[in-house]
Structure 1
Amino acid sequence: MSQYKVLDKNSTKNKIILLRVDFNVPIDNKKIQDITRINKMREIIHSHINNNNKVVLCSHLGRPKKNKKDSLSFLPIKSEIEKALNSEIDFKDVEKIEKSKIKKSKKKIFLLENIRFYPGEETNNDEFSEKLASIADIYINEAFSCSHRSHASINGVTKYIDSYAGETVIQEINALNKIITQTQKPVACLIGGSKISTKIDLIINLLPKMDYMIIGGAMANNFFKYDNVNIGKSYFEQVNISIVKSIHQVANRCGCKIILPTDVIVSQNQITKGTLKKLNEINNDDCIFDIGNETIKIIDETLSKCKTVLWNGPFGLFENDNFSNGTEKIAKSVANYTKKNNLISVAGGGDTFTAIKKSNLISDFSYISTAGGAFLEWLEGKVLPGLKVLEK
């Protein structure tokens, strides 16, 4: 297991810290819709300030296009960030900010403009990386969710400045290691979502470590097709059926049991509540939108036997209240056994986080990651460029 360079906060004083955070928050009409990611950093930022350091916050926001940048500027939401952090912030353009001016300023917190506005960020340009490094004494990565990117503010900057893994990054790594290297068995993996192609590497890498692989969401439809189950007009990703065959083969070799839905909720549209059906009852004009009660019971019974569970991806069209029951019941089962049986529960991915939050169960899981791509790539066993450069 890799060891990472970590800063001793108590001995770090009177420094300018470039803090790579993930403030990529959802925005509507120039208002932040979910402040979670910013709130998560409040205590860490203030701990640095309390040691008489100055903090320069660096983050991206969305995926800016050349001629459509205004809606993704941090300037319109600066006041909301100030309110969340309970501090005044000085807003800065990367190309105009200088270390000498930061030192002279009475402000303690500085916020850089959306780092993806600058071409050198996504190309991991050396000159731009060096410019970023020049404004601070120390760099800390608190953005695990972005650490799968070979971008200047994640990777390139570390060549020119003393760099460290932040508290939240270490927390995330420790939580994921409980799934990968320090697993308490039996262990189950709940994999949902719509596209099997985005999860194939994850599933194949996790199968040897799992006792149960529980598959749901539209991704399960690919498994149904493999088993010659009529899925009607349900969505399924057009991929080579051999993908499903290879998953079954690896599972058989590893002794991992694959659990698929045995009943489902179907409808001809998303407006009306669906009908509960067994798999052999699905009609040609049906669409599968959720898992049924029997499946929920099987999953609950499986989780009751486990000591560790990993969850990525919803098990139905959870954003529609007509089809959110399956995902909500799974969230409640995991939360229940986390409290009742000391189950180690780790969940991650944007939709999974949203689903658990919708069920008001965030605090009942052992660990919930807001990371998407980085979360998956770590579990796939891939090297994350933003973390590789922070190894001892």
Structure 2
Amino acid sequence: MVKRTIKDFDLEGKKVIIRCDLNVPMEDNIITDDTRIVASLRTIKYALRNNAKVILLSHLGKIKKEEDKAKNSLYPVSIKLSEYLNKDVLFSPETHGQKLTTMAKNLEKGQVLLIENTRYEDIPDKKESNCDDNLSKYWASLGEIFINDAYGSCHRNHASVTGIPKYLPSGIGFLVEKELQKIDNILDSKTHPFVAVLGGKKVDDKITLIESLVQQSDKLIIGGAMSFTFLKAKGYNTGNSIISTEHLDFAKNMLDKYSNKIVLPIDFITETGVKDTEEFSSDDIGYDIGPKTIKLFEKELEGAKRVILNGPMGLFEDKRYSKGTSRIFKYLDKNKIKTVIGGGDSAFAVNSLGFADSFYHVSTGGGATMKYLENRSLVGIEAIEDKKEVN
């Protein structure tokens, strides 16, 4: 069912709560990458152009204990937003209470109020993360319309994501709409070959994703450290490389069932140089795919009409081990293959290796994109009202 969007509402003079993803990296309260703030601007500016009173909610980092609050305040984000919007952004250091209620009540058209990190409410009772009903009701009471534009949080059943829309008319923002449209376009296309490329550290959080993509794709290329679990399942000595022991049976079953689809590395870069998979000793660790594997993967990608890539091919943060990831990106870019890059580490790799503008779509959500690729459903989207059919 198609969901309502911000464009389906009359925002004139309304208090509009926008759940954004302003979870930006910071060092000593200085923002080191404002990509997510920039990605949120279109929806915020649209609400302002339509004379709304804008209330922003977002989480930032992980709040496990009281001491975590100081380093995860959204106050620096309010300053950066003020610069981008060219207007003062009001900031509430409180996440609930009379002062916040009054600030929201007194908002005027064209004003923006950013509320402190929603995860402050996780101390002491995890009210945000457990989707506490009273907190959801309270936040909903601050506004008249709820817009979810936090694609990166749409897989989380949190009060600020799935709780508020229980009590307010709701829709999605431009960022969420774009993410879903781009990924749906790749998945629903009938063009072939369709190749999935998976990398990253562990198999653990990608079990359902692997099961889903191996059925949909013509080929499933597995690189990165997660490939060692599959190589171990095939009987190779993988040295000291990362293995998900509890998932060896899963890997073996996948290889038995889809031996004609799954493509694994045949060599790696170790600390002592390039080694074929058959040459690993007990203390070797593979940090990146090797030159033979790069050629193999490029051959498997030859002629591909669409690609989904989730996870790097190696420890790309270290220049010595970035070549595998970079070469795969370069091949996809050079051959103009329609590619969606899954969020998280993949998006970071794309930006840091200089491929920011090279692909059909680079997702802003890590876990959300993985979850959506698994079963085409996200709790944060399901919570939003369906678009009313016009007869």
Distance of 1:304 and 1:356 partners within structure 2: 20
**Are 2:215 and 1:215 equivalent residues in the alignment?**
no
Please point out which of 280, 283, 290 is paired with 1:282.
Answer: 280
Length, aligned pairs only: 378
Cα distance between partner residues in 1 of 2:113 and 2:211: 43
CA distance in 2, matches of 1:46, 1:7: 12
Correspondence 1:349 to 2:343: yes
Q: Which residue of 1 aligns with 2:63?
A: 64
Aligned to 1:271: none
Measure the CA separation in 1 of the matches of 2:151 and 2:104.
Answer: 29
Give the match's secondary structure for 1:380: helix
- Output one character per residue of 1:126-170: Cα deviation in whole Å (capped at 9) or x when no partner: 221111111111110001111111111111111111100111111
Correspondence for 1:51: 50
Q: Does 1:97 align with 2:105?
A: no
Question: Residues 8 and 105 of structure 1: is their aligned pair in 2 closer, same or farther, counting only changes over 3 Å?
Answer: closer
Compute the displacement of 1:304 (Å).
Answer: 2.5
AA aligned to 2:305 is: K
Matched, 1:368 2:362: yes
The 4+ residue runs of structure 1 with deviation greater than 4 A are 99-107
CA distance in 2, matches of 1:361, 1:67: 39
What is the deviation of 1:64? Answer: 1.0
Please report how far the alpha carbon of residue 210 of structure 1 lies from its aligned counterpart in structure 2 after TM superposition: 0.4
- C-alpha contact (below 8 Å) 1:147/1:154 kept by paired residues: yes
Q: CA RMSD in A?
A: 1.9
User: What secondary structure does 2:298 align onto?
Assistant: helix
Q: 1:225 aligns with which of 232, 246, 251?
A: 232
Do the aligned residues in 2 keep the contact of 1:39 with 1:85 (CA within 8 Å)? no
Answer yes or no: is the 8 Å Cα contact 2:17–2:55 preserved in 1. yes
Kept in 2: contact 1:90–1:107 (CA 8 A): no
Tell me if the contact between 2:333 and 2:359 (Cα under 8 Å) persists in the aligned partners: yes
> What are the ranges of 5 or more consecutive residues in structure 1 without an aligned counterpart?
268-273
Task: Give the Cα–Cα distance (whole angstroms) in 1 for the partners of residues 103 and 281 of structure 2.
Answer: 70
The residue number in structure 1 matching 2:207 is 200
1 CA distance for matches of 2:148 and 2:73? 21
Cα deviation, residue 87, structure 1: 2.8
Query: What percentage of aligned pairs have identical amino acids?
Result: 34
The structure 1 residue matched to 2:303, chosen from 302, 305, 311, is 305
Q: Which amino acid aligns with 1:97?
A: L
Alignment pair present for 1:264 and 2:271 = no
- More deviation, 92-101/317-326: 92-101
Alignment of 1:167-186 (within 5 A): 167-186=174-193
Q: Deviations over 1:186-242 (max 9, x none)?
A: 110110011112111100011111001000111111111122222222222222421
When normalised by structure 2's length, the TM-score is: 0.91
Query: SS of 2:274's equivalent?
Result: strand
CA shift in 2, pair 1:216/1:98, >3 Å: same
